[in-house]
Copies of this chain bind each other. A is one copy, B any other.
C-alpha cells in the first residue's frame, strides 16, 4: 500500500477519540485527515482544545489540525466515531448518507437489524448486512458498530466455545474499570475505596449484544443466538481493564480441559489474522491460580488479546472462568480500528 487512506475521527476530543488518535498514529493503512467535535470547538486547533490524557505525547500532526463540526459530513471513505450516544444518533446517519463507512463505538445503532455489530474474529460475516442497510436506508456509505466494552471480551471468549459446544446459558458478573465511563465520568468520591454495583443500561447491552454477536447471518439477516444471558455489572476502582466472572452451560457437555484447549488453540481466519490490529491469539489462557488481573495482564496482545483464567467446573452450569479485556483498546478504540481494517480487507472500503 503506497498511500494511506485518509480518515475522519468524529468526537475526537473525548477519551475514546484520544485513544483513536494514539492508536492511529503511524497506522500502516490509515492517516488521520480530519478531527471533528461539537460546534463549540469547531474552528479551533485540536492541540489547543483537547485535555490530552494519554500517557504518550499528543502527536504533532493531530495537534495541528483544525477541529471541524461533527455535523458536517466530509465524505471521507472511513469515519471513526467516538461520539457520545446522542451525538452518534444524530450525526452518524449524516456521514453514512454522505458516503462514509462509519465504524462506530457508539451504541445507538448496534441492535438495529440491518447494522452489522462486528468483532472480526467472531462474526466478520455479519458485514453481509451492509447491502441491506444501504438499500433500506438509501445510504452510499454505512454504519458498522463494535459492541460495548463488556460484551466484547465476553463474546471473544464465548465465540470459539459456541462453535464447538453451543452456548446455552450464561451468567456473568463484571468488575469494570472507570475508564469505561469516559472523563469526567465516575466521580472519585463515588469509587475510591468503593464498589458501585450498577452501570446504567449495561446489563441490557451485554445480554442483547452477546446474542446478536453469536447469531448466524443467513438470508440477509441475523438470527440471534438463543443463549439465555444473565448479567450483573459493577464498577470498581481500576483505571483500565474489565474483569468478568462467568459461568456457562453448553448444549454439548464440555470439560474444563476441553474449554482451555479450545480457547488456547483458537486462531482467527487468515484474512482476519492479517489485519494490523488482530493479535496473534485473540484469547490467552493463563494457568496461574490468581490470574488474570487488570494490573498485570491488561497489555496482552497490545491490549487486543483477552486473558482467561481459572477454568474450572461450575456446580450449577458446566464451566466457571474469569476473563479480562482491555476496555478502551479491545473494548473501544482498538475494536473500531480493527473493524475499519476489516472493511478494507473485505473490499468494502477501497484502498
Known contacts: A175-B195, A290-B197. The answer to whether A188 contacts B237 by CB under 8 A is: yes
Selected interface stretch from A37-45, A64-72, A78-86, A312-320: A312-320
- Asked if A22 lies at the interface with its beta carbon under 8 angstroms from chain B, I say no
Complex interface bits, A331-346 against B, C-beta within 8 A gives 1, otherwise 0: 0000000000000000
Contact-size category for A: 35 or more
Asked if A347 is at the interface of the complex by the 8 Å CB criterion, the answer is no
> Among the listed B178, B179, B189, which residue makes an inter-chain contact with A184, where contact means beta carbons less than 8 Å apart?
B189
Given A15-B189, A197-B290, A197-B293, 20 extra CB contacts under 8 A: A53-B189, A55-B296, A55-B299, A56-B299, A170-B316, A171-B173, A183-B187, A190-B293, A192-B192, A192-B193, A192-B239, A193-B237, A193-B239, A193-B294, A194-B296, A197-B291, A197-B310, A198-B291, A232-B245, A236-B236
- Can you spell out 17 A-B residue pairs with CB atoms less than 8 angstroms apart? A55-B297, A169-B316, A171-B171, A173-B173, A178-B189, A178-B192, A179-B189, A184-B189, A188-B192, A192-B239, A193-B238, A194-B293, A195-B238, A197-B291, A228-B316, A229-B315, A230-B315
Please give the distance in Å from A168's CB to the nearest CB on chain B: 10
Is the Cβ of B197 less than 8 Å from the Cβ of A237? no
Tell me which of B173, B187, B198, B290 contacts A188 (CB under 8 A).
Answer: B187
- Whether, in the assembled complex, A101 has its beta carbon less than 8 Å from a beta carbon of chain B, the answer is no
Within 8 A of B (CB), among A103-137: none
Separation of A55 and B53 alpha carbons in the complex (Å): 21
Check: A270 CB closer than 8 A to any chain B CB: no
Q: Decide if A186 is an interface residue (CB 8 Å cutoff).
A: yes
State A268–B260 Cα separation when bound (angstroms). 47
Q: Does A234 contact B (CB under 8 A)?
A: yes
Assess whether A207 is interfacial by the CB under 8 Å rule.
Answer: yes
A247 close to B (CB within 8 Å): yes
Q: Which residues, 261 to 316 on A, are CB-close (under 8 Å) to B?
A: 289-299, 309-310, 314-316
User: Taking beta carbons and an 8 Å cutoff, which residues of A are in contact with B?
Assistant: 15, 53, 55-56, 169-171, 173, 175, 178-179, 183-198, 207, 228-230, 232, 234, 236-239, 241, 243, 245, 247, 289-299, 309-310, 314-317, 320, 322
Question: Which chain B residues border A230 with CB–CB below 8 Å?
Answer: 171, 247, 314-317, 320
Chain B hits for A194, CB < 8 A = 238, 293-296
